[in-house]
Amino acid sequence: MERPLTKLLVANRGEIALRIIRSARLFGLKTVAVYSAADAKSAHVGAADEAIAIGPAQPAKSYLDIAAIIAAAKHCGADAIHPGYGFLSERPEFAQAAADAQIVFVGPRPEVMAALGDKVAARRIAVAAGVPVVPGIEAAEISATREFAALVGYPLVVKAAAGGGGRGMRVVAQAAQLESALGAAAREAAAAFGDGRIFVEKYLAHPRHIEIQLLGDNHGAVAALGERDCSIQRRHQKIIEESPAPGLSGAMRAKIIDAALKLARAAHYTNAGTAEFLVEGDNFYFLEVNARLQVEHPVTEMRFGCDLVCEQLRIASGGKLAEPAAPRGAAIECRINAEDPEHDFRPATGTVLHLSVPGGPGVRFDSHLARGAEVTPWYDGLLGKLVCYGANREEARGRLVNALDEFALLGVTNNAAYLRDIVASEQFRDAKLSTHFIDSFFSGWEIGKPEIDAAIVAAAITAGGAMGDIPSDGAALPLPAGAERRSPWDSLKNFELWGSRR
């Protein structure tokens, strides 16, 4: 049944809200942004045709507030809602609330989402469909979990039933840590998803993370748009993703895609989703279905020459799935996060004082950042996704190294230099991919000594005023007309960083 859409409310923030608004406009829709008090000056607010404030900074009172978002959609006459990823994207009650308000939810139906979005239920569906799963147990009680642990042995991994993107995941190396890990995982899960249920799986030694992009229309057709290898993870959070998966045999790829399609059909899946698998040797195991658009979807878009958000909108308005084009070349994405890679990846905040965005053929930067943008502690620390395409993996990798070299972000500590060193490394070049890649090759990473020397000199120049064009925090204004500019070095009498000129 065709139902043309006219106005889309984007129930998200940051880079993904901006990215969805761009495609919705291309699709011919009016767009509505929603924002919390902390995001009033954010890029997605300015990009949309309309913007509606939905609450204070706390996610629970804004981006996670179903009633506030549905009220905003009704108020502005939106006939569709796109949830993005994270926040409410995998909450069946949100999809249901939209349906109850006669608003099209751009995603799977609530009952499908409930069945697949819940990792415990999804495992059951996979088993019934004959898809292999990692040995695991639903962690209801500590005693039953201890018995399971004794059976399969440590290490184990604790996961949130409602989780995604590594949130609420803990590896348990030995029995002594089990109880506290269950507690911490449950707390994190409750805080992040409003659902503290967890389950426990055997932790595989050196698996690769390979996932299949799925699309399903409302007429029963499902299609797979190839795989993504997301093995480069830090504490179960993906940081580098690519397609195709290097070295994956055609036979293995076909088997995994077949399993993903089986799952999608068994679940009557519609709209965009991703089936995640762990691959070790000749075995593969179903992990979970992410019943939404993934962060790393641009990797697939670049290889298939498609726009997955437009596909989602076409499906949501009742359109039929088109046969996907044949994939070409290779694409690699890395996630630039607000975190300090030299200090245990501690989350960072701050105001963007300068931003250099790379360009050139095959380079895409999906980000909401601009000079003056504020990164607050309230939300996920993803600052942007740098994605490069090439005729083959080496060309894509070379472009990504160059692009990261061109990138500069002052004001918010971030992992760009760390990503650059990973992508440029011979281990990454040689695709020694496993989910333990970071622990094996990049633990204890530090900024290079020559760069630190250059930074010390640059700090002296900054103190001296020769790099005074960049406004500091809270003073993001250009110099008033006629203001006299200090000439470089004039004030730099000596290396007096915090002297009388403070």
Partner 1 sequence: MKLTRAGDLREIDAEVISRDGGTMRVRIGDRQLTAEFTPNADGGGVLAIDGRRYRVFGARRKDSILVSVGPASLEFKPAEAASRRRAHGLAAPEVIAPMPGKVLMVMVRDGDLVEAGQPLVVIEAMKMETTLAAESAAMVKHVRVEEGQMVDHGAVLIELSPSPASSVRESAPRVE
What SS3 class is residue 492?
coil
Of the two residues 280 and 406, which places its CB atom closer to partner 1 in the complex?
406
End-to-end C-alpha distance for the chain, whole angstroms: 68
Contact mark string toward partner 1, 157..196, x via CB under 8 A: ----------x----------------x--xx--xx----
Spatial CA neighbour of 352 closest among 292, 281, 410: 410
Query: Can you tell me which residue has the tokens 């002296």?
Result: 460
Contact partners, residue 434, CB within 8 Å, separation at least 6: 206, 207, 208, 231, 440
Instruction: Using the rule CB under 8 A, give the single segment among 140-148, 246-254, 404-412, 426-434 that binds partner 1.
Output: 404-412
Q: How many of the other CB atoms lie within 10 Å of CB of 342?
A: 14
CA angle (83, 88, 89) in 5-degree steps? 50
Binding to partner 1 in span 352-371, by CB under 8 A: 353-354, 356
Of the two residues 8 and 419, which places its CB atom closer to partner 1 in the complex?
419
Binding to partner 1 in span 280-339, by CB under 8 A: 338
Spatial CA neighbour of 314 closest among 91, 27, 22, 14: 27
Q: Are strands 408-410 and 354-356 parallel, antiparallel or unpaired?
A: antiparallel
Member of 256, 417, 422, 438 binding partner 1 (CB under 8 A): 417
Chain centre distance of CA 353: 24
Member of 219, 452, 479, 486 binding partner 1 (CB under 8 A): 452
Q: How many of the other CB atoms lie within 10 Å of CB of 355?
A: 20
Is residue 37 part of the contact set for partner 1 (CB under 8 A)? no
Is residue 380 part of the contact set for partner 1 (CB under 8 A)? yes
Is residue 424 part of the contact set for partner 1 (CB under 8 A)? no
Member of 20, 257, 330, 412 binding partner 1 (CB under 8 A): 412
Measure Cα distances from 363 to 271, 297, 369, 389, 491 in Å.
27, 15, 17, 7, 40
Instruction: Using the rule CB under 8 A, give the single segment among 22-30, 39-47, 269-277, 374-382 that binds partner 1.
Output: 374-382
Of the two residues 99 and 408, which places its CB atom closer to partner 1 in the complex?
408
Q: CB of residue 369 vs partner 1: minimum separation in angstroms?
A: 13
**Inter-residue contact 278 to 284 (CB < 8 Å):** yes
Is residue 409 part of the contact set for partner 1 (CB under 8 A)? yes
Spatial CA neighbour of 263 closest among 251, 254, 275: 275
292 is catalytic: yes
Residues that bind partner 1 (CB under 8 A): 167, 184, 187-188, 191-192, 338, 340, 342-343, 346-350, 353-354, 356, 376-381, 404-405, 407-414, 416-417, 419-420, 447, 450-463, 466-467, 469-473, 488-489, 492, 494-498
Q: Which residues have a catalytic role annotated? A: 292
